[in-house]
Amino acid sequence: MAGPTPNASLRNTPSDFNLSFGKNIFTLEDTGSATDQVKFGLNILSGSTTGTTVATLRQFENPSGTAHFDLQNILKNYTTPNPNLENTSNLTDGRYETFRFVGEIGHEIGGTFAIDEYATGSTGSYCVIGGRKDYYDLNWDDNTQYISRILDFFGCPVSRNRVFALSDYKNRSGVSSDIPAWVVGESVITQKIPADNQAKRTLSFVNRHLKTASGTIPDERKTIGAFRVTIMSGSTELDDFFIDNIQSNGGGPNTVVGGTRFDEYPYDVITVEAGHNLGTGNTSNATHWFIASVVKSCGSDPNTYWDTPISYVYRFDVDEGECNDFEYVDVSWLNSLGFRDYYTFRKRKDYNISVQRNTYEQLDGTWSSADYDVNTYDRGEKVFSQSLQERYTINTNYLSDNDAEFLKNLYLSPDVKVRFEGDTNFYPVVLEDSQWTERTYRKDKLFQNTVTFRIAHKLNSQRG
């Protein structure tokens, strides 16, 4: 006689926002007091409870009466780099780099699966971003660096923490010189960008603001309202404008300023073009510019957006280089958080082409003619095919400790692209460096980094 019917229930879940390259653990337990061993089931559905099933998992309970399911090998297949992130205008959503899912929780008896409940998280589903994390990190413990906590104070927003873009570069400085009024008192993250108007950069931000433990936050402030951009020439302000985070600009999920939609795929991360590709901004005469994310302002405020940024302020300084620089190489790579970072290599650049030939011996002479003769143009050893591989070695200028640590993730990255000075596009490459060694000023004094890469596509070659 069969015992009581099991009822599979969630004991533990990963956080609502997590990284896909690392543990994503769901723990199930029986709350139905079954006496027989329980076979738990977990189905992963894309997007919502009516979404497509992308994975089916089954497991018997362990000696403690629970079952642990690690979804990382499933989820990391649904997050991938955006292959053309730098060549969009204004904003870009996260349809490549993010994935939303829910779980069907249940038990299986005699090959029949019964749903007991759904795992949807407090956001209606779970979101993973294509970054990597430590082996012991279950819930992306440092996500407060990227997901802002804010509250409403008498109808106006108050930020409890500034957030970083999804970048490994986090070197903050105090208030810099030649700044607009809205940057006063803010921490600034400064990077350099070539003067070439083809130099492109991007910044990607989690498009979600959570309330503080005891606070409230209206729906219209749960996503980024806009990105504020101020372009400067020295102390002169050339332009100051907002890029509204709405669908017509490539963002979302809202279609109008001040909309109340949130937690919708594919808008969990929004990328803003931040280099000389600033949408409508003109940087031809600029010395630097500032970018930060903002939210909708107080209801009674005539301005659309709050003057205080939600994110740290990012500053880009136009770099003309030095007189002894080589033609620079702009490098873009997939960082540890699943989005793009950039660095410009300006020092010595070496270029070579390696050639691998397949040959065979061709007989000399006119063997099929009435008279035998040998022509001077007879080939002898002939090239049947050859493989041509372009290879570059590039060098940085002298590095600070912060920049050296930042470049570590370039060596670890599986997806690297380069743009040569004067060119418009980034081209895929494969790094040939198989080791990164920590170097610091204390140990090495003045030091540079060297990177060797080959172009991901070989040159076409004729046959001999």
Are 94 and 242 part of one and the same domain?
no
Residue that is last in its domain, among 106, 132, 158: 132
Residue 109 lies in a domain: yes
Are 210 and 285 part of one and the same domain?
yes
Residues 268-320 have pLDDT tens digits of 999 999 999 888 889 999 999 999 999 999 877 767 898 889 999 999 999 99
Domain total in the chain: 2
Q: Map tokens 């937690």 to a residue.
A: 263
* Cβ–Cβ under 8 Å, residues 360 and 389: no
Whether pLDDT at 461 is above 80: yes
Are 128 and 93 part of one and the same domain?
yes
Residue that is last in its domain, among 319, 346, 381: 319
Domain residues for the domain of 12 are 8-132
Are 17 and 100 part of one and the same domain?
yes
Are 65 and 38 part of one and the same domain?
yes
The HSE-up count of residue 125 (CA atoms within 13 Å, CB side) is 21
Are 214 and 107 part of one and the same domain?
no
Residue 16 lies in a domain: yes
Residues 56-102 have pLDDT tens digits of 999 999 999 999 999 999 999 999 999 999 988 899 999 999 999 99
Measured in degrees and rounded to the nearest 5, phi and psi for residue 147 equal: -115, 115
Mean pLDDT to the nearest integer, 143-158:
89
Residue 218 lies in a domain: yes
Handedness of CA 299, 303, 305, 308 (dihedral sign): negative
Rounded Cα gap, residues 204 and 249, in angstroms: 15
Residue 188's beta-bridge partner residues? 173, 313
Residue 441 lies in a domain: no
What count of residues does the chain have? 464
Residue 437 lies in a domain: no
Strands of 95-250 (E only): list them.
Answer: 98-109, 112-119, 126-132, 148-153, 156-159, 172-173, 188-194, 202-206, 209-211, 226-233, 236-244
Tokens (6 digits) for 387: 């493989």
Residues 374-398 have pLDDT tens digits of 988 888 889 999 999 999 999 999 9
Tokens (6 digits) for 347: 């020092």
- What pLDDT is stored for residue 141 in this prediction? 85
Are 123 and 196 part of one and the same domain?
no
437-443: long-range pairs with CB below 8 Å, 24+? 438/404, 438/405, 438/408, 439/399, 439/404, 440/401, 440/404, 441/400, 441/401
CATH number at residue 99: 2.60.40
* Cβ–Cβ under 8 Å, residues 44 and 64: no
Tokens (6 digits) for 39: 């076979």
Residues 32-61 have pLDDT tens digits of 988 889 999 999 999 999 999 999 999 999
Mean pLDDT to the nearest integer, 122-143:
94
pLDDT band at 2 (very low <50, low <70, confident <90, very high): low
Residue 385 lies in a domain: no
Are 108 and 189 part of one and the same domain?
no
Are 173 and 308 part of one and the same domain?
yes
Residue 119 lies in a domain: yes
Give me the chain's average pLDDT, please: 93
Residue 395 lies in a domain: no
Are 14 and 107 part of one and the same domain?
yes
Nearest to 430 by CA among 447, 413, 405: 413
Mean pLDDT to the nearest integer, 191-217:
93
Whether pLDDT at 1 is above 50: no
Mean pLDDT to the nearest integer, 234-246:
96
Are 116 and 220 part of one and the same domain?
no
Residue that is last in its domain, among 132, 164, 198: 132
In this prediction the pTM is 0.94
- What pLDDT is stored for residue 212 in this prediction? 87
Whether pLDDT at 328 is above 50: yes
- What pLDDT is stored for residue 59 in this prediction? 96
Are 68 and 12 part of one and the same domain?
yes
Whether pLDDT at 3 is above 70: no
Q: Report angle CA 454, 456, 460 to the nearest 5 degrees.
A: 100
